[in-house]
Amino acid sequence: MGQFPKIFNDLITSLARFPGIGRRSAERIAFFILRMPQDELKELARRMSEVQDFIKPCAMCNNFTTLDICSLCSSVKREKDVICIVEEPKDVVAIEKTSQYNGLYYVLLGSISPLEGLNSQDLNLGKLIHRIQKGEIKEIIISTDPDNDGELTAQYLIKKLSSYPIKIYRIAIGIPLGTQIEYIDSATLGKALLEKKAVL
Ligand SMILES: [Zn+2]
């Protein structure tokens, strides 16, 4: 390792911070970058920078969007009073792929995670509570991940939302604990949505 120039080592260190990328993969990517045609590399750097400049959370649901309100929230074809609560924007993509859901979403942008020091205050619930209080929502489907953090988050949401006059469901996941929504195949996930269980 010590034989690489510092500037190259620094790139490897930065790349190794990406999720799922260990030191060895970071080295391979760094070598790939070194040999990339200049124009391709510039395009990549521009795209990486643009996602931060242009993508922001939807003002209604926190989903990724380049507009103030995302295309799902502004769609006239969706049921506006049904909300599926998920942890991350990638869960919206996974659920949309099932074609079994026609309501709106609310993205928490995280979960309660004791190991990572995240508690209920780290959930971005404000906008959702506001809409519930205004009487805009009649049904909530909690679709947090079927792992420890997701379950903790679901239990907290059930407690927090139980005082409002809304129906609360939990996605019926007949799959092993410890997985994440994004890794569940579309057919299983679609079935879990259709068979959602009332929790209140
Ligand atoms: Zn939205």
The architecture in CATH of the region 76-198 reads 3-Layer(aba) Sandwich (3.40)
| Per-residue pLDDT, 2 | 56
63 CA to middle of ligand 1, Å?
Answer: 5
Measured CA to CA, the distance from residue 103 to residue 101 in angstroms comes to: 6
pLDDT at position 176 over 80: no
What are the residue ranges spanned by the domains of the chain? 6-54, 76-198
74 CA to middle of ligand 1, Å?
Answer: 7
Length of the chain: 200
pLDDT at position 41 over 70: yes
41 CA to middle of ligand 1, Å?
Answer: 32
60 CA to middle of ligand 1, Å?
Answer: 5
Average pLDDT value for the chain:
90
182 CA to middle of ligand 1, Å?
Answer: 19
| Per-residue pLDDT, 144 | 92
| Per-residue pLDDT, 76 | 95
pTM for the whole structure: 0.79
Q: Calculate what percentage of the chain has a pLDDT beyond 70.
A: 96
Give backbone dihedrals phi and psi of 82, rounded to 5 degrees, phi first.
-115, 125
Q: Does domain 6-54 have CATH number 2.40.128.50?
A: no
